[in-house]
Structure 1
Amino acid sequence: MSLLKYLARATLLLTLLLSSGPLLAQSLRIAAASDLRFALDEIVALWQQQQPDTQVQVIYGSSGKLTTQIINGAPFDLLFAADIAFAEQLHERGLTSSEPQVHALGRIVLWSNTLDAGQLSLAQLSDPAIRRIAIAQPAHAPYGLRAQQALQAAGVWEAVEPKLVFAENIAHAAQMAQSGAAQVGIIAMSLAMAPGLAEHPYLLIDDALHSPLLQGYVITRRAADKPQAQAFVAFIESPEVHAIMRRYGFLLPGEQP
């Protein structure tokens, strides 16, 4: 290869590397609890209207599994968990570049595609006519754990446990109830108020029956030098985002149920 061709190729490679830097810097990869699917999709769309140069990818799942992925090196810039305890777990391990912050309070509801869930109670779930009840897996999904707590507090856990079908996350539990794979689901209020489910009534479960669903976010150590991550979490506290969160049934810090 001639010296001129070598220098031309080297110059082209250097140009590509330099030009790709800003593009890589202007991207965000977010791990988010499934209860945020509809609300966060709207929030990201609004963000990208204001920040068109920043590409945002959101991966939804159970808070526990997403946290484990980050611990194992998954390249996420932010974690939005349904239980702030998972964000705190990352912080305690030194895997964050910010303090965990509570941004909302989630609620759980009874929902059904075939029954009038608004007229049901937790006690009625023991009725033999109700054969399958969907909840998220309590071992790694905060909404599943709160469903278990509520059923135990209502004194019906032993009666309904044989009927339970466990979903990977709360969106999967909602899908099971919507498809008929389960007659009833204990799901996130934010999903019960989303398109495709909102036309059916739901029963809001008394929050005294379970520990609070404190939604929390944190910036990971990977995003320590990403100003876009800081800008996004600042955007989360904006009035526009608060309006979206309220529309999906979330309470904001300091608001009473």
Structure 2
Amino acid sequence: MVAPAAAQSVPNPGPNPVPNIAAAADLRLALTEVAAAFTRDTGQKVSLTFGSSGNFYRQLQQGAPFQLFLSADEDYVLALAKAGKTVDRGTPYAIGRLAVVAPKGSSMQVDSNLAGLRAALRAGQITRFAIANPAHAPYGKRAEEVLRRGQLWEPLTGKLVLGENVSQALQFATAGGAQGGIVAYSLVLDPAFALRARYALIPAAWHRPLRQRMVLMKAAGPVAQRFYRYIQQPAARRIFVRHGFALPGEAR
């Protein structure tokens, strides 16, 4: 069983032997399943906190008591390693993808080349369009790249709703009057998503790769170290693939 934690909060560094794990928001479904399998296989628990990789990076620079960091952008891990905050440079664990989404009832059509978004903008049908905040969320940065590539960034000025992380962006994109958004593919594969929205996978070539890397912090204990190794095993890797991730070094 996974010990839950509030999104993007800094856990109490008290005597709790369960290690606190900081994980990118796109991992909410996949890593929760991996952690549950880890507990079944080992009898040990981890506490998962999901949020923006950029925010976690800043917290870890300031000594936040996380023992393992799974980032959606490897640059944050490499910067922490350079600053001497980690055991080493960590290891890649996944490659993420983007999807364009629209809630059921939205006039915006979803398609891989964003023709539906372009048409809805021309028709004046877009008033709210959600992405994660590009200032600190890797999926937001890549969503901005996609929109700029399609010359849609400027037309969406004043209409963007920014989520603190990509999970919140998905909530904004499928509720609250938004006509759609660009979010993590790994989150739209949730069966519950199909009940309320539609999606299309965005070509990987339309943005820089979302190379995701994890690393043990210097204070990592034996359970965190074991979980780190467990994530790299075939069973855990299969879970990541099932949740829409590509594996490093494999065809996308």
1:10 corresponds in structure 2 to none
Shift of 1:26: 4.5
2:62 corresponds to = 72
Structure 1 residue corresponding to 2:227, chosen from 223, 232, 235: 232
The structure richer in helix per residue is 1
Q: Unpaired runs of 5+ in structure 1?
A: 1-22
TM-align CA RMSD? 1.8
Structure 1 residue 229, shift from structure 2 partner: 2.2
Show the counterpart of 1:108: 98
Aligned equivalent of 1:214, options 191, 195, 211: 211
Aligned to 1:14: none
CA contact (8 A) 1:62 1:170 kept: yes
Quick one: which of 133, 141, 155 aligns to 1:137? 133
CA contact (8 A) 1:39 1:248 kept: yes
- Select which of 163, 168, 178 maps to 2:164: 168
1:254 lines up with 2:249 in the alignment: yes
Matched position secondary structure for 1:159: coil
Matches within 5 A, 1:1-257: 26-52=17-43, 54-114=44-104, 115=106, 117-119=109-111, 121-126=113-118, 127=121, 128-199=124-195, 200-223=197-220, 226-257=221-252
Shift of 1:25: 8.2
1:185 deviates by 1.4
Distance 1:231 1:134, change over 3 A: same
Q: In structure 2, what residue type is equivalent to 1:147?
A: A
Q: Deviations over 1:108-157 (max 9, x none)?
A: 00011124754474244242112211000000000000000011111221
Instruction: Return the offset for 1:87.
Output: 0.8
**Which protein shows a greater Rg?**
1
- Aligned-pair identity (%): 40
198 and 101 in structure 1: CA distance in 2 versus 1, 3 angstrom threshold: farther
**TM-score if structure 1 supplies the norm length?**
0.85
Give, in angstroms, the shift of residue 158 of structure 1: 0.8
8 Å contact kept, 1:132–1:165: yes
Give the SS at the match of 2:28: helix
Change (3 A) 1:93 1:131: same
Aligned-pair CA distance for 1:179: 1.8
Moved over 4 A (4+): 23-26
Structure 2 contact 23–48 (Cα < 8 Å) conserved? yes
| Number of equivalenced pairs | 232
Deviation at 1:74, TM superposition (A): 0.7
**Over residues 68-108 of structure 1, what are the superposed CA-to-partner deviations in whole Å (9 max), with x where a residue is unaligned?**
11111110000001001111111011000132211110000
Name the aligned partner's letter for residue 187 of structure 1.
Answer: V
Preserved contact between residue 130 and residue 181 of structure 2 (Cα < 8 Å): yes
Answer yes or no: is the 8 Å Cα contact 2:110–2:116 preserved in 1: no
Cα contact 2:132–2:162 (8 A) shared by 1? yes
User: Partner amino acid for 1:201?
Assistant: R
Contact 1:117–1:202 at 8 Å: present in 2 too? no
Aligned to 1:13: none
Give distance in 2, aligned partners of 1:86 and 1:117. Answer: 35
